């Protein structure tokens, strides 16, 4: 029921925001169209594979520990959107991307964001490897007793509630090297040069954040549904949990290595560039696979309990 309440409130907030956008720009449909473009860019950015993997790993950790996890994606997206909002505000102040590049702001942010992303993804993947080992070899799904788990536990105690994903999202956002974010700033800069209202420029990152939170929140809900169920922890549905673990582990390590190769300049036959260019598609594929797993599990469960 918690997810239904959250989803209901989220829909209400979204409707209110679009009503506000409509009232502000109903006489200027071209400006409203720009706000919608920002929203679509946010939807696309929410599917970036590093977003999806980071949210899935932490959501699974919280849900498997019987802790609230529905809003994990929401807080990650809000933290990430804060960076976008601040940079858009700099555009209002007349600070261009070229100026920030000259003083090394974007380069420094990209370095910090990449290092944080790589470290975070590998640590969460390592934690899930331990979970997988205990699940397969010791038939345990919630308690970790290995030396690796003992070493990692203090780190992940820092993220024991969904709202603590906000700083993680903020640090991920410091990378600021994706086409969607750059496109949004370019849109904001063009509107600023045309002398449009400051309120229009500020609506762009808000619409962008709304699109991103829709995707990342839905991802967290899907992962929570996959993990936070009694049937999934039973021996009958053990293979579903193992499948989910294998997906998030493989994705986390793969994305981490791709980002590392990109950071140190290793091309690997253009594979790095290909993955980065199509990051939202890979993220969407992961979400789709998890959604199909959830649907299949629910259908199998409903067929099992349906009387003959």
pLDDT of amino acid 213: 93
Residue boundaries of the structural domains of the chain: 29-297
Residue 44 has pLDDT above 90, yes or no: no
Contact 216, 79 (CB under 8 A): no
What single DSSP character describes residue 257?
H
Give 32's pLDDT tier (boundaries 50, 70, 90): confident
pLDDT of amino acid 145: 41
Question: Which position has the token pair 């849109």?
Answer: 187
Tokens of 12: 């209400």
pLDDT of amino acid 34: 82
pLDDT of amino acid 103: 47
Cα separation, 64 vs 224, in Å, equals: 9
Give 31's pLDDT tier (boundaries 50, 70, 90): confident
Contact 227, 277 (CB under 8 A): no
104 φ, ψ to 5°? 80, 15
pLDDT of amino acid 290: 85
Give 194's pLDDT tier (boundaries 50, 70, 90): low
pLDDT of amino acid 223: 86
- Residue 210 CB neighbours (<10 A): 23
Residue of higher predicted confidence among 195 and 65: 65
Average pLDDT, the chain: 75
Query: How confident is the model over 137-167, as pLDDT tens digits?
Result: 755 544 444 444 455 556 556 777 888 899 8
Query: How confident is the model over 241-255, as pLDDT tens digits?
Result: 777 788 888 888 887
Contact 131, 64 (CB under 8 A): yes
Give 7's pLDDT tier (boundaries 50, 70, 90): confident
Average pLDDT estimate for 127-145: 64
- Residue 279 CB neighbours (<10 A): 23
Query: How confident is the model over 48-78, as pLDDT tens digits?
Result: 888 888 888 888 878 877 788 888 999 999 9
Instruction: Calculate what percentage of the chain has a pLDDT beyond 70.
Output: 68
Residue of higher predicted confidence among 215 and 96: 215
Cα separation, 20 vs 13, in Å, equals: 11
Cα separation, 38 vs 200, in Å, equals: 11
Residue 21 has pLDDT above 60, yes or no: yes
What single DSSP character describes residue 140?
-
Give 211's pLDDT tier (boundaries 50, 70, 90): very high
Cα separation, 280 vs 278, in Å, equals: 6
Concatenating the DSSP letter of every residue in 203-267 gives HHHHHHHHHHHHHHHHHHHHHHHHHS-HHHHSGGGHHHHHHHHHHHHHHHHHHHHHHHHHHHT--
Query: How confident is the model over 263-296, as pLDDT tens digits?
Result: 776 555 555 556 666 677 888 888 888 888 888 8
């Amino acid at each position: 029921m918690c997810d239904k309440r959250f989803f209901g409130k989220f829909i209400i907030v979204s409707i209110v925001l679009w009503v506000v956008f409509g009232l502000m720009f109903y006489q200027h449909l071209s400006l409203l169209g720009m706000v919608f473009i920002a929203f679509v860019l946010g939807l696309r950015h929410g599917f970036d594979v590093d977003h999806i993997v980071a949210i899935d790993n932490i959501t699974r950790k919280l849900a498997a520990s019987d802790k609230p996890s529905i809003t994990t994606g929401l807080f990650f997206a809000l933290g990430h959107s804060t960076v976008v909002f601040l940079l858009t505000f700099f555009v209002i102040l007349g600070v261009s991307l070229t100026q920030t590049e000259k003083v090394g702001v974007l380069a420094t942010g990209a370095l910090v964001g990449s290092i944080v992303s790589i470290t975070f993804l590998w640590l969460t993947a390592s934690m899930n490897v331990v979970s997988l080992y205990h699940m397969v070899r010791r038939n345990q799904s919630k308690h970790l007793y290995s030396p690796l788990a003992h070493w990692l536990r203090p780190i992940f105690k820092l993220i024991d509630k969904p709202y603590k994903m906000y700083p993680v999202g903020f640090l991920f956002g410091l990378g600021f090297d994706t086409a969607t974010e750059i496109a949004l700033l370019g849109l904001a800069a063009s509107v600023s040069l045309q002398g449009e209202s400051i309120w229009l420029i500020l609506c762009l990152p808000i619409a962008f954040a709304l699109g991103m939170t829709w995707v990342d929140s839905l991802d967290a809900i899907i992962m929570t549904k996959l993990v936070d169920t009694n049937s999934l922890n039973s021996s009958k549905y053990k293979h579903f949990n193992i499948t989910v673990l294998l997906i998030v582990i493989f994705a986390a390590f793969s994305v981490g290595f791709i980002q590392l190769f990109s950071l140190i300049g290793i091309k690997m036959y253009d594979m790095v560039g290909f993955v980065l260019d199509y990051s939202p598609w890979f993220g969407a594929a992961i979400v789709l696979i998890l959604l199909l797993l959830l649907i299949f599990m629910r259908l199998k469960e409903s067929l099992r309990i349906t009387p003959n």
